[in-house]
Amino acid sequence: MPILETPRLILRPFREEDVDLLAPLMGNVDFMRFSLGVYTHEQTAAFVEKLLGWQRANKPSLFAVILRSAQSKTEDSGTLLGYCGFYHQHIDSIDEMEIGYRIHHDYWNKGIGHDLREANYPSRVSDAGVFSCSRKLAGDAWRLMNSRARAR
């Protein structure tokens, strides 16, 4: 998976060492509001392992969303805010892929969704030969997700 960047964010593939950073988010009620509930550390580890499996299989997956620190611009610095990208699900006997994001509630209404859109990750991933999704479709998907989130 490629690493995508905006002036504020770095979108990079997940790593095994992200489990300890992601576990507090996945255990947070606000972060997990639109899911089936909060995750334990063990469930988070299994979730990350699933993502790593998709990455090893060259399947579209979720990106770790990192807020750049003011002092450093490398992908290993900054704060893990959540994730965005592609999530594989099996629904009603059909394999589906969902495009979405989940961001720490302290960063809601701070333009992070706009930054993710600016990264244009669906079509940028296409440039890497991993997945094909037009810029218009990506924009439509973001607008739909944002409007549904505001309606709740």
Domains identified in the chain, total number: 1
Portion of the chain with pLDDT greater than 90, in percent: 37
Q: Which residues, 6+ apart, have CB-to-CB distance to 51 below 8 Å?
A: 14, 61, 62
Long-range contacts of 121-127 (CB under 8 A, 24+ apart): 121/4, 121/11, 121/63, 121/84, 121/85, 124/2, 124/4, 125/1, 125/2, 125/4, 125/60, 127/2
Portion of the chain with pLDDT greater than 70, in percent: 72
Residue 140: the pLDDT is 52
User: Does the pLDDT of residue 62 top 60, yes or no?
Assistant: yes
For residue 142, give its domain range: 4-151
Chain segment 66-112, per-residue pLDDT in tens: 998 765 555 556 899 999 988 888 788 888 888 888 999 898 888 88
Q: Which residues, 6+ apart, have CB-to-CB distance to 54 below 8 Å?
A: 60, 61, 88
Please tell me the total number of residues recorded for the chain in this structure.
152
CATH number of the domain enclosing 28: 3.40.630.30
Residue 147: the pLDDT is 55
pTM over 0.85: no
